Structure 1
Amino acid sequence: MNRLHPLSAIAYGLQYGFIWLWIPMVLVLVLGGIIDPVSPAWFPVAAPLGFVAGVAYGIGYYYRFEYGITPDTFDVASGVFARRSREIPYGRIQNVDVRQGVFQRLFGLATLSIETAGGGATEATLNFVSESEANRLQEQIRRRTADAKDRRRKRESSPAEEREPVDETGEITTESDETATPTDTEHSADPDPTVPSSDPTESRRDRAPTYEPPRRRKLFDLESRELLLYSFTSFRPAAAAAVLGLFFIATDTFIELLVTIAQPVGGPESIGEGTTTNYGVLTLVSMINGIVITYMLSVAYTFATYYDFRLGRADEDFVYERGLLQRYSGSIPVEKVQSVTVTANPLQRLIGYAGLWVETAGYGPDSNGGSQSAVPLAKQGRVHRFTENLTDVETPKFRSPPTMARRRYLVRYSMIAAVIVAIFFGIAQVTALDRWYLAAIVFAAVPPAAHLKYVHLGYYVGEDHLVIRRGFWSRRTTVIPYYRIQTVSTRRSIFQRRLGLASLVVDTASSRTFFWATPTIYDVDLEDARGVQRASRKRLQSALRERARDDDLGLSVDFT
């Protein structure tokens, strides 16, 4: 078993030291209100004691944290008082990601994270290992994971009578294993020279077969022009959250700054001194500045996140690297891919660009879901070719919903516009707001909004894939192999039943449904929805039988 880098002892010591610093201070504060002899004057003594105890615990955590590679599992043992040992089978490992922050890159360190299939969080994290050790572990675990899956597929595809016998512990036994002597076993197992070991008599379980790292094939590089376009044409909600957080932390400072900026264009001299017009100018200027600041933060965040983005292929996995301040390196297992989505907002469509995302079953590093960017931004034709090569889907010929759906959107958006006018009318009754009726101009946006929503909806029922297109502000075209479909359900609201329409919800094993809605075919005729449902069910069964016979991954790993 191996330990983390020695610098992790210092990091853990400081981390727990500052956490435990507050424990005795809180105890003194609480006990001071209950027991008279306890006084807040004990703070100068209690705080250092808590810090020293935390540092001791952090150093103990470092010495009690061990990890190791075995032929069948990746083992992690941790805990100072409550010991926890984990054996992670390679067949369940989905992603092995390496992350480097600014501090870590300066000292040649890295953090390695292991995610398992179906998990919503990291299964094991190795903080502060050397960069070379992180890369070695990443390559070895990835290779062993691929080997475990290959062995499983071979066992599942071989006839029952030809399968190797398995003992009660689940290990494969052969006649040669039963008759082998200890001497033969020792000489037949060669230690892996790449695995550090201080014990020359370590067991066979701790030894690993020698292999060469897989050759990576470059599939996509994000060019400088594409990176800038992607940064300026996309928006990150995290930027808005950051601005709101800074505003609540330093509210007074922000208000003074906004008042100062608004004064030259007619804003109030200070809060509490000014007319209604002055405050209107302040509100408008503050909104504009908030939007500009949020947008620039989003540009900077996107640029730093996808700087030097590279996508490649290693064995049966896609591997990627990205990041300026924090460098990420991870993998996208091909066999875990549930669907492929082409995304483009109006500005990106205007300049002829699009992005490509893949949905995986389980944990996804980009958004705490099962989604990962394969191509952040590229020419639409190039992205479409990537998609066709990745999924082997034929060029889709989309079917649009009936025109009745457009009438439904007209009614829906008209109701929203009426609510907006009613809100302005209510404000006018309790304030000095005049001409509230000017809010009725929102009705002018109803027809184009209904039309744009309608024309961006479509679906295609192919031989091996179901393709769904929806969305105007963020148009998403999702390609779903039939064998990845979990359920296909028909949903009808009260209004849809009156119009004879229905929506078809296609669910896969992907966990990213919180940020992106489940792929849905909206507002099609009821009979068409039922026809698509029957066709999807029938082709799902055919795809499963064909995959069981051919034992194929179903997705090509050749973008080019």
Structure 2
Amino acid sequence: MMSEPKRLHPAAMILNLFHIIVQTIKNIILPFFFVFVVNSNHAIRFYGSIALGILFIWLIAASIIKWRKFTYRIEADEVRIEEGLFFTKKRYISMERIQSMNTSAGLIQQIFKLVKLQIETAGGGKDAEAVLSAISLEEAERIKRAVFTQKEKIKDLGEEGPVMKEDEAPEAEKIHARYQMGIKELLAAASTSGGIGVIISAVIALLSQIDEFLPMDWFYDKFSFLKSASIGMYAVLVFICLFIAWVLSIAGMMIKYANFQIEKKEHELVISRGIIEKHQVTIPLRKIQAIKIKENIIRELLGFVTVTIVSAGGGDNEKEGASTILFPVIQKKKLAGILRTFTPEYTFEAKSHHLPKRALRRYLFRSTIFSIVLIIPLCIFFRPWGYFSLILLPIELVFGYLAYRDSSWHINGEKLQLTTRFVGKNTAIILRRRMQIYKVSQSYFQTKKQLSTISTSVKSSSNMEELTVKDIEAEDAQHIFRWYSYEKADG
């Protein structure tokens, strides 16, 4: 039985209008600037205003037509969508290709108590295969359950399952565990994030371009006193600017991760967060390929970590590489217990096998070799200021030692845990059946020291993610190889 075609909520017309206006502004910004800012001819401005009015009326009409011609339905094992402004386009999305279905809610959706449902497919690229921009939360959940149930039927029967009727959708899965990020963790996530770098980069990019559009003479005149300011004054100004950027980054992160919550159901994790724009991403447990635990310097000193999931399905377009954030920040002492609750196959092991002492010299050498090549000419040709570059050596030696100290591996049953460090510390937890490949390599100098480099890859939503540990004991590398190949032999 065919489900009836459905339209989006009328609020989709407002969303369509905003989207079309943004796209249009990108195309007419230069003509608008010359007609209304540079040009002083009143007649041209008058006719330009009429043209803008007609364009705005057309944009409203286009958003209404787009809403009227957009329909969706579930039929057999497909999600079918028809849309188009002048010509009707039909898309049939096989349920077997659907990797994830995630919801979010911007201001418009929240006003009307709606959500946006994004349908991600295998090989769909960065953009979602389909977007239902304004539907009720109940309708979004009904579609998710219908697709999930139909996929399970196809998987179990090995053929196309029967048509999913609207009243066949099962009850919502029971919630087995729930975690809500507290104020302490939220503040830690906001104050120790790298958002300050993003803000500073954005401001520099803006300042480098703004003088092309706006006269900056008044700005230079206003701050002309800085030409004769002391170094102390410049230091204070730099500190104030950095402090403002830090406060802005804290505010942005707190808005982004407010109301952060994870719910564990029978077959999936549901992650939701946000105030101004609410996001919800659903990750099937069977799609998890690895768990990654990240500690930057500040969070490590404060005892916090960030946990991400590498999944084979789509995400919420908000990834660190190919990973979806599971816990923006959590106390490390709670990590083992909380992973045991939410991802029981990917538990954290405190104990591990570290590198042999003879690997230390190689780590120290790698950490300093490039800076030495830089320091020597600086000290020769730029004396005495070049001598300040020598301060790099003890800093890099410290990080080289930390990288040696923290690099480790551990096997527990079907699970491999690898830890490495460059500046921040990273730990990956992988199941043996999720490892796409395992490689052992040796350079000439490693062979003399009986050391090896090991690496493995896991499949992410768009590529293969490689995990590497250098200079482990050669015998340990072969032990891991035997552990990995044992399953292949039993296969």
Q: Distance in 2 between matches of 1:55 and 1:115?
A: 29
- Give deviations 1:26-71, integer Å, cap 9, x for gaps: 8999xxxxxxxxx978645554444444443332222111112335
Q: Select which of 477, 485, 488 maps to 1:537.
A: 485
- TM-score, with structure 1 as normaliser: 0.73
Structure with the larger strand share: 2
Distance 1:521 1:382, change over 3 A: same
> How far apart are residue 208 of structure 1 and its match?
4.2
Instruction: Give the secondary-structure state (helix, strand or coil) at the position aligned to 1:443.
Output: helix
- The residue that corresponds to 1:101 in the other structure is 106
Amino acid at match of 1:470: T
- The residue that corresponds to 2:296 in the other structure is 345
Q: Select which of 379, 390, 399 maps to 1:440.
A: 390
> How far apart are residue 2 of structure 1 and its match?
1.2
> How far apart are residue 364 of structure 1 and its match?
2.2
> How far apart are residue 399 of structure 1 and its match?
1.6
Instruction: Give the secondary-structure state (helix, strand or coil) at the position aligned to 2:466.
Output: coil
Structure 1 residue 78 and structure 2 residue 79: aligned? Answer: no
- The residue that corresponds to 2:406 in the other structure is 456
> How far apart are residue 335 of structure 1 and its match?
0.7
Once the two structures are superposed, the pairs formed by residues 387-426 of structure 1 within 5 Å of their partners are: 387-389=339-341, 390-391=344-345, 393=347, 395=349, 397-422=351-376, 424-425=378-379
Q: Distance in 1 between matches of 2:322 and 2:26?
A: 37
Once the two structures are superposed, the pairs formed by residues 21-170 of structure 1 within 5 Å of their partners are: 43-44=48-49, 46-121=51-126, 122-129=128-135, 133=136, 135-155=137-157, 170=160
- Give deviations 1:160-219, integer Å, cap 9, x for gaps: xxxxxx6xxx457xxxxxxxxxxxxxxxxxxxxxxxxxxxxxxx7764425433333442
Instruction: Give the secondary-structure state (helix, strand or coil) at the position aligned to 1:293.
Output: helix
Once the two structures are superposed, the pairs formed by residues 302-313 of structure 1 within 5 Å of their partners are: 302-313=253-264
> How far apart are residue 230 of structure 1 and its match?
2.2
> How far apart are residue 487 of structure 1 and its match?
1.4
Q: Select which of 159, 184, 192 maps to 1:233.
A: 192
Q: Distance in 2 between matches of 1:497 and 1:283?
A: 53
> How far apart are residue 290 of structure 1 and its match?
4.6
Q: Distance in 1 between matches of 2:123 and 2:285?
A: 15
Structure 1 residue 318 and structure 2 residue 272: aligned? Answer: no
Q: Distance in 2 between matches of 1:239 and 1:28?
A: 29
- The residue that corresponds to 1:374 in the other structure is 326
Instruction: Give the secondary-structure state (helix, strand or coil) at the position aligned to 1:115.
Output: strand
Contact 1:310/1:321, CA 8 A, preserved across alignment: yes
Contact 2:346/2:430, CA 8 A, preserved across alignment: no
Distance 1:205 1:396, change over 3 A: closer
Once the two structures are superposed, the pairs formed by residues 164-243 of structure 1 within 5 Å of their partners are: 170=160, 207-236=166-195, 238-243=198-203
Instruction: Give the secondary-structure state (helix, strand or coil) at the position aligned to 1:508.
Output: strand
- The residue that corresponds to 1:16 in the other structure is 20
Q: Distance in 1 between matches of 2:65 and 2:330?
A: 49
More deviation, 335-344/2-11: 2-11
- The residue that corresponds to 1:194 in the other structure is none
Stretches of structure 1 that go unaligned for 5 or more consecutive residues are 30-38, 157-165, 173-203, 546-560
Amino acid at match of 2:481: Q
- The residue that corresponds to 1:244 in the other structure is 204
Instruction: Give the secondary-structure state (helix, strand or coil) at the position aligned to 1:216.
Output: coil
Q: Distance in 2 between matches of 1:47 and 1:245?
A: 30
Q: Distance in 2 between matches of 1:529 and 1:457?
A: 14
Q: Distance in 2 between matches of 1:253 and 1:500?
A: 65
> How far apart are residue 472 of structure 1 and its match?
5.8
Distance 1:11 1:351, change over 3 A: closer
Amino acid at match of 1:347: I
Stretches of structure 2 that go unaligned for 5 or more consecutive residues are 34-42
Contact 1:337/1:358, CA 8 A, preserved across alignment: yes
- The residue that corresponds to 2:6 in the other structure is 2
Instruction: Give the secondary-structure state (helix, strand or coil) at the position aligned to 2:439.
Output: strand
Q: Distance in 1 between matches of 2:176 and 2:424?
A: 31
- TM-score, with structure 2 as normaliser: 0.82
Identity %: 22
- Give deviations 1:327-353, integer Å, cap 9, x for gaps: 112211101000112232333333333
Amino acid at match of 2:262: L
> How far apart are residue 247 of structure 1 and its match?
3.4
Q: Distance in 1 between matches of 2:250 and 2:29?
A: 42
Instruction: Give the secondary-structure state (helix, strand or coil) at the position aligned to 1:518.
Output: strand
Q: Distance in 2 between matches of 1:238 and 1:225?
A: 23
Instruction: Give the secondary-structure state (helix, strand or coil) at the position aligned to 2:354.
Output: coil
Q: Distance in 1 between matches of 2:25 and 2:180?
A: 47
Structure 1 residue 331 and structure 2 residue 282: aligned? Answer: yes
Q: Distance in 1 between matches of 2:402 and 2:16?
A: 54
- The residue that corresponds to 1:518 in the other structure is 466
Amino acid at match of 1:386: I
Number of equivalent positions: 471
> How far apart are residue 318 of structure 1 and its match?
0.8
Distance 1:117 1:258, change over 3 A: farther
Contact 2:150/2:164, CA 8 A, preserved across alignment: no
Contact 1:353/1:378, CA 8 A, preserved across alignment: yes
- The residue that corresponds to 2:315 in the other structure is 364
Q: Distance in 1 between matches of 2:148 and 2:141?
A: 11
